[in-house]
Chains A and B, each alone.
Chain A
Amino acid sequence: MDYGEALELQRELAASRQQGGVADQLLLVEHPHTITMGRNGRMENLLASDAALESAGISFYPINRGGDVTYHGPGQLVGYPILDLREWKRDVGAYVRGIEQTIIDTLADYGISAGRIAGLTGVWVNERKIAAIGVHIGRWVTSHGFALNVSTDLSYFRYIVPCGLTKPVTSMAQLGVQAGVVETGRALAAHFGRVFGCEMDCEMASETPIPAASEREN
């Protein structure tokens, strides 16, 4: 699903969630090559010029949230939970830890032992980052979310790594696990439901994107 389309869908769902119009949602999608830049990101962190990005077929989205520059692309499972945290816990730290736990549990299903690094949000395997997290909250309703590298072509991350100074990235494929994005998404949705205490009601959209609505257990 195109990044801009997904962003629009998230906005609509988050607005509707704030009004109580819809239940909590978990959107699971796969994007074409995309680089997003948060409002606090600096252009100097983007190594390639616009022209270079264009010739590599990468869309560029400056977006209205804080944080770093991020890459999304094929082979990456991207999740956008639209949750009202007032109905779970009013704790953004616990929310982020919950997302991390969901991904750690999912990876464990595939025999990958992943964990956290204190102070560095995300999910890590041997000091390599396998999943990135970036969240926006408005009126306690979450948007944006996480990106788990299933079989991502990691060379694309080079476009956003200055001087090779960051910790390296990895993917499930690089760790020897051959899994599809859709399949991984299903496994993840189950763990998400458990961690956040909701019943998952999966609904398969056309082609690759896999939105899953969730309903909270009361």
Chain B
Amino acid sequence: MTDVVMPQMGESIVEGTLTKWLKKPGERVERDEPLFEISTDKVDTEIPSPAAGTLTEVLVEEGVTVGIKTVVARIQEGDGAGAAAAPAPTAAAAVDVPSAPAAAPAAPSAQVAAPPPPAPAEEDALPAPEPAGPLSPLVRRMARENKIDLSRVQGTGAGGRITKQDLEGYLAKAAPAAAAASVPVPARQAEAPAPPSPQPPRALAGARIEPMGTMRAKIAEHMLASKRTSAHVTTVHRVDMTKVARMRERHKADFQARHGFSLTYLPFIVRAAVAALREFPLLNASLDGNSIVYHNEINIGIAVALENGLIVPVIRAADEKNVLGLQRSIVDLATRARSRQLKPDEVQGGTFSITNFGSFGSLMGTPIINQPQVAILGVGTVDKTPVVLDDAIAIRSICHVSLSFDHRLIDGAMADQFMGKLKQALEVWSEEVL
């Protein structure tokens, strides 16, 4: 039985993503015949089989990233006929049957015995016998500069490598107890005290692991970049939507019949936001270094949830549209966003964004600013609620509207004045919608 391992593709490369199996369990493979493909750092590589025989076990599924030296599969050596002497290589059964004999000869790790669950990332990389494994130039330099004896540092990287985090953790622990030189060399990772920096969570047995996908990765990057860029503050106002609700109720059927789409609360909110943005143009601005860019146009981005992510198409010149025009734009953009028919410039050039999480039942939220904008409005559900009006309890349609703003540019007073204007526009709504 030959173990097939994740190869080391270069000095600086400690893991790889298995992107495709070119053979199925039970299939015959020749030595040096491409067996699987991996992806590392924008490089995709076909990996040839280390032996000729039958692929008996596949331990790492497609899409999973594992450390170098991780066993990803096993091959029963010999030609088809010879191998038949031992476990019958019948296609389907071959996957499970050989796992029992496989447990005996193997030394590398306990995991060998476990049959097919996806190998948890990095787990297998531990048995590497070298004391420290190859070191990155950064780690070497840190060790030199801080006079660290590397044999005292437990590596947690793939293949037991010592990473920058390990050194930082070591230094952090060593600093207070510098004199107590008896820092125990932890025998195994399991005994190591709480890891100094957040470790990626280990996949539990049976977990499904799949790659993130580009859109997801872009969203992740964009969200974090926004959190790093802006000083986020959120303020929440309670808005009495009763007047708007009544108007909507009155026109709903007629509107649907006349225009072919329904009338929602959102265009009213957009209209009110536009009025407030006109009065407080700083919320319709961007920061460019130390300059404030006041935008000419009011282009409102509307967050649209997609099956696997979200997109923020933009209503251009929103200040030139009435409720009907806004509703038409919203329906059109949302529909085309979901069928991926948006044109590139329809997702760019926004100057302010609105996210309507109320449609999913949320009362209120603290949205993240859509860079390079400086504020985003979050709209909660509109619910009939008992409220005190002139010392009497009344039933009103209440909506919580939140504004996340960039405190680098906008102070709380202005944010709340903006919200006051928006609230007022909605509460005393007088404009006709038809």
Which residues in A have some Cβ–Cβ distance to B below 8 Å? Answer: 38-49, 52, 65-69, 89-96, 121-122, 133-139, 155, 158-159, 161-166
- With both chains docked as a complex, state the minimum distance between the C-beta of A218 and any C-beta of chain B, in angstroms: 23
In the assembled complex, the Cα of A122 lies from the Cα of B12 at a distance in Å of 16
B345 within 8 A of A: yes
In the assembled complex, the Cα of A92 lies from the Cα of B13 at a distance in Å of 8
Task: Give the residues in chain A near B215, CB-CB below 8 Å.
Answer: 42, 44-45, 162-163, 165
Q: A93-B10, A135-B42, A138-B45 are in contact. Are A44 and B347 (CB under 8 A)?
A: no
User: Which of B51-59, B336-344, B417-425 makes up part of the contact surface?
Assistant: B336-344
- With both chains docked as a complex, state the minimum distance between the C-beta of B71 and any C-beta of chain A, in angstroms: 21
In the assembled complex, the Cα of A138 lies from the Cα of B34 at a distance in Å of 8
Q: A39-B20, A94-B10, A163-B311 are in contact. Are A69 and B214 (CB under 8 A)?
A: yes
Provide the B35-68 mask, 1 if CB < 8 A to any CB of A, else 0. Answer: 0010111111110100000000000000000000
Using CB atoms, name the residue of chain A closest to B222.
Answer: A165
Q: B42 touching A139 by the CB < 8 A rule? A: no
Can you list 28 A-B contacts with CB-CB less than 8 angstroms, sorted by A residue number? Answer: A38-B44, A39-B20, A44-B213, A44-B306, A44-B308, A44-B340, A47-B342, A65-B44, A66-B37, A92-B9, A92-B43, A94-B10, A94-B11, A96-B42, A135-B44, A136-B43, A138-B46, A139-B32, A162-B218, A162-B309, A162-B347, A163-B215, A163-B222, A163-B312, A165-B221, A165-B222, A166-B218, A166-B221
In the assembled complex, the Cα of A121 lies from the Cα of B39 at a distance in Å of 13
Chain B binding site: helix, strand, loop or mixed by DSSP?
mixed
Q: A66 touching B44 by the CB < 8 A rule? A: yes
Interface centre among B10, B342, B347 (most CB of A within 10 A): B10
User: Residue A158 contacts which of B41, B340, B348 (CB distance < 8 angstroms)?
Assistant: B348
Interface size class of B (residues with CB under 8 A): 35 or more
Using CB atoms, name the residue of chain B closest to A166.
Answer: B218
Task: Give the residues in chain B near A134, CB-CB below 8 Å.
Answer: 42, 44
In the assembled complex, the Cα of A87 lies from the Cα of B177 at a distance in Å of 50
Using CB atoms, name the residue of chain B closest to A158.
Answer: B344
B219 within 8 A of A: yes
Task: Give the residues in chain A near B40, CB-CB below 8 Å.
Answer: 92-93
Using CB atoms, name the residue of chain A closest to B336.
Answer: A49
Task: Give the residues in chain A near B42, CB-CB below 8 Å.
Answer: 67, 96, 121-122, 133-135
Using CB atoms, name the residue of chain A closest to B39.
Answer: A66
Q: A47 touching B344 by the CB < 8 A rule? A: yes
Task: Give the residues in chain B near A39, CB-CB below 8 Å.
Answer: 19-20
Q: Which 7 A-B pairs have the closest CB atoms?
A: A158-B344, A91-B10, A93-B10, A165-B218, A66-B44, A121-B42, A137-B45
- With both chains docked as a complex, state the minimum distance between the C-beta of A35 and any C-beta of chain B, in angstroms: 12
User: Residue A163 contacts which of B11, B20, B347 (CB distance < 8 angstroms)?
Assistant: B347
In the assembled complex, the Cα of A137 lies from the Cα of B41 at a distance in Å of 12
User: Residue A40 contacts which of B211, B221, B310, B340 (CB distance < 8 angstroms)?
Assistant: B211
- With both chains docked as a complex, state the minimum distance between the C-beta of B40 and any C-beta of chain A, in angstroms: 6
In the assembled complex, the Cα of A69 lies from the Cα of B41 at a distance in Å of 15
Q: B219 touching A158 by the CB < 8 A rule? A: no
Q: A163 touching B218 by the CB < 8 A rule? A: yes
Q: A47-B342, A161-B344, A163-B219 are in contact. Are A135 and B43 (CB under 8 A)?
A: yes
In the assembled complex, the Cα of A216 lies from the Cα of B420 at a distance in Å of 72
Q: B214 touching A137 by the CB < 8 A rule? A: no
Task: Give the residues in chain B near A46, CB-CB below 8 Å.
Answer: 340
Task: Give the residues in chain B near A89, CB-CB below 8 Å.
Answer: 10
